[in-house]
Structure 1
């Protein structure tokens, strides 16, 4: 059962300022947005985001949240782990439907929610906010395009290592199982199955991991983080 926490000080707890979408807003405008944000504390293992939930932006203030989708066979496919300052559901504010995205807490986690309807009401009440958010969104889209180009050049070995480190956080163990087919993992991190196999072998040769099919044992988490995270 979720526990609710009220009476957050705006000076101490501007959840919305953690989100790039609101990065250009003034202090007074942030306060306006914060007034319609709901703060909740969840226990470990609670579902925060799902296709059946009210469309809303979820900002992690404390704790961590795993974001995953379900395969056609109903198996979890980890997408990422969100830590304090991270968020999910930004698309929901603009009416994009969530067809297959889930978020589950990995520990006691404090989430700040901004519902789509509250967001719309806010824009109607403060038209100047709409213009600023439009400017921010356009700028963010340009940044994302640059980031996508940068990702194309980024070392695949690093992407695999960071994916394994996120899996370690989810299961809280140095032995993890890849939750999807290798071809799907290759698509997810932007490479080919052949490259995935080569990179896993390199990580094994370096003494970072031990692999048996989909089961990966991380032999030296600290060194893996130092070299790749």
Structure 2
């Protein structure tokens, strides 16, 4: 029997160090609609957010719940998914630190249109309607930036739908691996390493295919020397070849 390949993983269990005030402010400043604010503005805005720690697999909110909070990932990763009428899960995205998610009635959503799950242990900032309205009043540029970001999100969603309905499974999975690399990749001796609790089912749900098909594609990628996999990690060894698969 072959020996299971392992690689040292980050400890994703969040603690005070992972959610320090400095880190909170830093990741808040990475949010697209806060990006152009001055440091002193961010120092004030972060005071309106509360921090919560979640263990891996914990539900942050459910699809259909009242949209009461806008949230920001400070540490760890968050999975967004939507349940279809047929009872299937569709993974919409895996969010990295500095990403925002959730919604507020002020932004046009009475309820959450997706569920959010802690993909790893994580630290999340949350802000409610009253505090966010005050932020918009004090910093009008944030409201303008939100409109621009919303338009970009719509374009991105349309592109994702197009890929799921027209692209081959191999292309979809290659795209997902490259996207995860951009968000979580680290240069290691194994290649560009993605250290993340990310199952074949997660990959299949994100690609809009079956677990069996996703496993077959990953196995083929490994045989071709494009990737190497182990427990809770994937190393991209030939990114150029992955890009070729997408472009063909």
TM-score, normalized by length of structure 2? 0.59
Instruction: Please say if residues 60 and 111 of structure 1, whose CA atoms lie closer than 8 Å, have aligned partners that are also in contact.
Output: yes
Shift of 1:21: 1.0
Unaligned stretches of 5+ in structure 2? 1-13, 181-193, 244-248
Note if contact 2:69-2:128 (Cα within 8 Å) is conserved in structure 1: yes
- Aligned pairs, number: 196
Residues 55-80 of structure 1: per-residue CA shift (max 9 Å, x gap): 21221111111110111133322111
SS at match of 1:114: strand
**CA-atom RMSD in angstroms:** 4.4
Instruction: Quote the residue 1:49 is aligned against.
Output: 61
Residues 171-190 of structure 1, C-alpha deviations (whole Å, 9 max, x = no match): 6445767349x9xx39xxxx
CA contact (8 A) 2:48 2:127 kept: yes
SS in 1 for 2:111: coil
Answer whether contact 2:71 2:100 (CA < 8 A) is retained: yes
Q: Which moved more, 1:170-179 or 1:20-29?
A: 170-179
Match of 1:135 in 2: 144
Unaligned runs of 5+ in 1: 187-199, 211-217
Structure 1 CA distance, aligned partners of 2:218 and 2:32? 40
- What secondary structure, in the 3-state scheme, does the structure 1 residue paired with 2:29 have? helix
Q: Tell me which of 114, 117, 122 is aligned to 2:127.
A: 114
The whole-number CA distance in structure 2 between the counterparts of 1:23 and 1:140 is 12
Structure 2: how far apart are the matches of 1:62 and 1:223? 23
Q: Distance in 1 between matches of 2:205 and 2:153?
A: 27
Deviations 1:72-98 (A, max 9, x none): 133322111112222212565524233
